[in-house]
């Protein structure tokens, strides 16, 4: 399914506004690097610092709003920085810890479908405890009522971080089911692009903790899920087109750093 022209324009506007807003508010960290400056020039150092700064919030300022635009034609509802729920039962906490212990000691392999059903069975058992969980980067409700919760991560998460990611996904499930035990829910780690391209994404670092088939969407898997088949490639074209249109503004912005 190709993206509608209106969607493409909205995504272009998201990118332009995000970049222009960054230009308006960006202040390079004051650091004296005389050798680097003499060798490379102030403008190139400023560009490097800018890209590094942009990378730290690329997810919230670009990926999340773009993702929201993609969902508007194929899903009932979508929102960013949402919550999965406000409480988890004491029994669900126990089950989550048991799952994490078994995965950490390699006694079990990750099986998200089974894990969800285990949590469904205890989601209202025991003491209901108030929780303040990590916010959901992208919450989508399908036309059939199924709920999809995404945690959007950088392209190369540290291998050790997947234990924390896994717990977050399980807690989201438990909190959502506490509100509605009959809810059909899926939770995912989303990695927006494959830094190893054209080689396959290296998934071995998360094996044993993340259910690769039911908890992870990388690059095309993520964007095509949101916008339909081919959405990823169309997005790349939109990013390129927008970059070409803004080239003069970008060059002008960094040229000022060479002024005495």
Write out pLDDT tens, residues 14-72. Answer: 999 988 888 888 776 656 777 877 787 777 777 777 887 777 778 888 999 999 999 98
Per-residue model confidence (pLDDT) at position 28: 67
In terms of domains, do 133 and 16 share one? no
Alpha-carbon gap, residue 125 to 9, rounded angstroms: 48
Find where tokens 């898997």 sit. Answer: 221
Q: How far is CA 76 from CA 68, 123, 145, 208, in A?
A: 12, 26, 8, 34
pLDDT score, position 157: 77
For the stretch 93-137, pLDDT in tens is 999 999 999 999 989 999 999 999 999 999 999 999 999 999 999
Confidence of residue 1 (pLDDT cuts 50, 70, 90): low
Residue 182 or 159, more confident: 182
Transcribe 54-119 into DSSP letters. Answer: HHHTHIIIIIHHHHHHHHTTTSSEEEEEE-S-SEEEHHHHHHHHHHHHHHHTTSS---HHHHHHHH
Average pLDDT over the chain, rounded to an integer: 90
pLDDT tier, 188 (very low <50, low <70, confident <90, very high otherwise): very high
Residue 126 has what pLDDT?
97
Query: Do 250 and 219 fall into the same domain?
Result: no
Angstrom distance (rounded) from CA 161 to CA 158: 5
* pLDDT for 84 beyond 90: yes
Query: Are 177 and 238 in the same domain?
Result: no
Contact 172/84 with Cβ under 8 angstroms? yes
Q: Compute, in degrees rounded to 10, the torsion defined by CA atoms 69, 71, 75, 76.
A: -30
Domain match, 79 and 134 both: yes
Does 244 score more than 90 pLDDT? yes
- Do 190 and 246 fall within a single domain? no
The total number of structural domains that make up the chain: 2
Per-residue pLDDT at 98? 98
Higher pLDDT, 245 or 255: 245
- Residues 100, 212: one domain? yes
pLDDT at position 222 over 90: yes
pLDDT at 30: 59
Q: What is the largest CA-CA distance in the chain?
A: 68
CA gap 6, 20 in Å, rounded: 21
Is the Cβ–Cβ distance between 171 and 131 less than 8 Å?
A: yes
Same domain, 219 and 233: no
CA distance 145 to 126: 28
Please state which of the ranges 62-76, 180-194, 244-258 shows the lowest mean pLDDT. Answer: 244-258
4 and 82 in a common domain:
no
* 259 — pLDDT class (breaks 50, 70, 90): low
Tokens of 260: 């005495």
Q: Which residue has the tokens 């969407």?
A: 217
Residues 6+ apart with CB under 8 A from 181: 120, 123, 124
pLDDT tens digits, 164-174: 999 999 999 99
* Same domain flag for 135 and 190: yes
Q: Is 136 left (phi over 0), alpha (psi -120 to 50) or beta?
A: beta
Residues 80, 110 share a domain = yes
- Report pLDDT for 39: 81
Q: Quick one: tokens of 10?
A: 């909205």
- Cα separation, 138 vs 140, in Å, equals 6
- For residues 205-217, give the mean pLDDT: 89
Instruction: Specify the CATH number for the domain of residue 206.
Output: 3.40.1560
Question: Do residue 168 and residue 250 come from a single domain?
Answer: no
Per the CB < 8 A criterion, the answer to whether 43 and 257 are in contact is: yes
Q: Which two tokens stand for residue 257?
A: 């750093």
Q: What is the pLDDT of residue 29?
A: 64
In this prediction the pTM is 0.90
Residue 172 sits in the same domain as residue 235: no
Q: Which domain holds residue 137?
A: 75-227
Q: Which of 134, 24, 156, 2 is nearest to 81 (CA)?
A: 134
Centre a 10 Å sphere on the Cβ of residue 85 and count the other Cβ atoms it contains.
Answer: 20
């Amino acid at each position: 399914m190709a993206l509608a022209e209106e969607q493409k324009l909205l995504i272009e506007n998201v990118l332009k506004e995000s970049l222009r807003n960054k230009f308006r508010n960006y202040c390079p960290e004051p650091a004296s690097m005389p050798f680097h400056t003499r060798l490379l020039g102030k403008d190139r150092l400023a560009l490097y610092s800018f890209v590094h700064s942009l990378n730290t919030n690329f997810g919230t300022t670009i990926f999340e709003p773009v993702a929201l635009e993609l969902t508007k034609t194929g899903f009932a509802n979508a929102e960013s920085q949402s919550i999965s729920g406000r409480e988890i039962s004491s029994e669900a906490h126990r089950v989550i810890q048991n799952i994490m212990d078994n995965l950490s000691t390699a006694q079990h392999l990750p099986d998200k479908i089974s894990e969800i059903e285990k949590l469904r069975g205890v989601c209202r058992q025991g003491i209901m405890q108030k929780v303040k969980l990590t916010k959901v980067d992208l919450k989508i409700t399908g036309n059939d009522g199924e709920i999809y919760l995404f945690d959007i991560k950088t392209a190369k998460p540290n291998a050790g971080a997947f234990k924390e990611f896994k717990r977050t996904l399980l807690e989201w499930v438990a909190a959502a089911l506490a509100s509605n035990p009959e809810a059909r829910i899926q939770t995912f780690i989303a990695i927006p692009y494959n830094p190893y391209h054209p080689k396959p994404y290296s998934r071995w670092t998360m094996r044993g903790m993340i259910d690769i088939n039911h908890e992870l969407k990388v690059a095309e898997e993520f964007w095509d899920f949101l916008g339909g088949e081919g959405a990823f490639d169309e997005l790349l074209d939109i990013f390129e087109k927008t970059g070409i249109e803004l080239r003069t503004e970008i060059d002008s912005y960094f040229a000022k750093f060479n002024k005495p």
